[in-house]
Copies of this chain bind each other. A is one copy, B any other.
């Protein structure tokens, strides 16, 4: 999906999370940040999860985005197995109680093992946050992020004109 060596790993607990998690990939493509996208289930492929997380840094990843719903253990477990920053996306899956379980089981990590949690179904923001992490030292990415912020502002301003006229 992306040509260069991926810097961001995007994983989700189930293929059914794809419609949500896909937005992380889209925004990274827009920022031209190479990424990989796969399915890693904490509960159905726990050993694959262990291997994915343990080899992530060696494989060149700098950030991991992990999305899951319900009793969402993937982001926290990946964070327990790597010292890379892990961004958690709570997904309002079909088996979730209005998203509360997804949010709390990703956000409320114990001391020592953080997960950078974004809003419920906030995969796009997860992608932007990954870019911001890269952009904290990479000036080219930082520039793109500033341009993106500008675009957001301009779109609002165009709406303002329509609404006020």
A122 at the interface (CB under 8 A from B): yes
Query: Which residues between 97 and 129 of chain A lie within 8 Å of chain B, taking CB atoms?
Result: 97-101, 103-122, 124-126, 128-129
Query: Can you list 17 A-B pairs, Cβ within 8 angstroms, ordered by A?
Result: A13-B110, A43-B77, A43-B113, A44-B113, A48-B156, A62-B136, A71-B106, A71-B109, A87-B116, A95-B111, A96-B108, A97-B99, A97-B100, A105-B108, A108-B120, A110-B119, A114-B126
Pick from B48, B100, B113, B125: contact of A112, CB below 8 A. Answer: B125
Q: Is A32 at the interface (CB under 8 A from chain B)?
A: no
User: Of the candidates B79, B116, B152, B160, which one forms a contact with A39 in the assembled complex, judged by CB atoms under 8 Å apart?
Assistant: B160
Give per-residue flags for A134-163: 1 if the beta carbon is below 8 A from chain B beta carbons, else 0. 111110001001101100110111011001
Known: A38-B160, A80-B42, A98-B97. A71 touches B104 (CB 8 A): yes
Q: How far is the CB of A8 from chain B (nearest CB, A)?
A: 10
Instruction: Indicate which residue in B50, B70, B83, B135 contacts A50 across the interface (CB closer than 8 Å).
Output: B50
Distance in angstroms from A59 CB to nearest chain B CB is 13
